[in-house]
Structure 1
């Protein structure tokens, strides 16, 4: 009777306590694992943020390098154009000097020929 029911109830209570204890243990394990996973997730998020920052910096650095490269190319073009302009100026100066020499030479020839005619007329009058 009653003793059996008490024994069965006590046995059931012990079994329930064992199941509860096992469930609590499993719950603690799951909580610990969840905490570990949350920590790992947070760490990986931090790493992801750092990587994003590094990639953004690298991209900015690459853009800056590209910008400086373009500026250097522009300056090299300006330098090349300046050299061409300087060569053109030098060439024109040389042409102007040659033209001036030629004009001076022609002027002297004209003066000599005029003097020659003057001298001839003067001699004829004498």
Structure 2
């Protein structure tokens, strides 16, 4: 599964009640946020949903931009539907990776011809 993520975007989004109380209703938060932590891990937020790249155990690789040509990038609305289903099925958390839960990647554009693919896992938290 590959998620849409535009690191330099100034786009904002509104969070609403379909988020199942993961976050309160909020208007105009930055849609895409990437934060590098001292540990080397990287946090990615998509409209407040947290995805973590754990440097010591998760894959990060540089590929040609054309690698994504045959991949479908998942947008925010489809992502929320998927996360709601996961939360319903595994209310106490899930095992990552597993046969039921696909690996998730966030592409970061490095240049006109290359991207970094970060393997990430969704972190359930209540604000």
> Under a length normalisation based on structure 2, what TM-score does the superposition of the two structures give?
0.14
Bigger radius of gyration, 1 or 2? 1
User: By percentage of residues, which structure has more strand?
Assistant: 2
> Under a length normalisation based on structure 1, what TM-score does the superposition of the two structures give?
0.14
Higher RCO, Cα 8 Å, sep 6+: 2
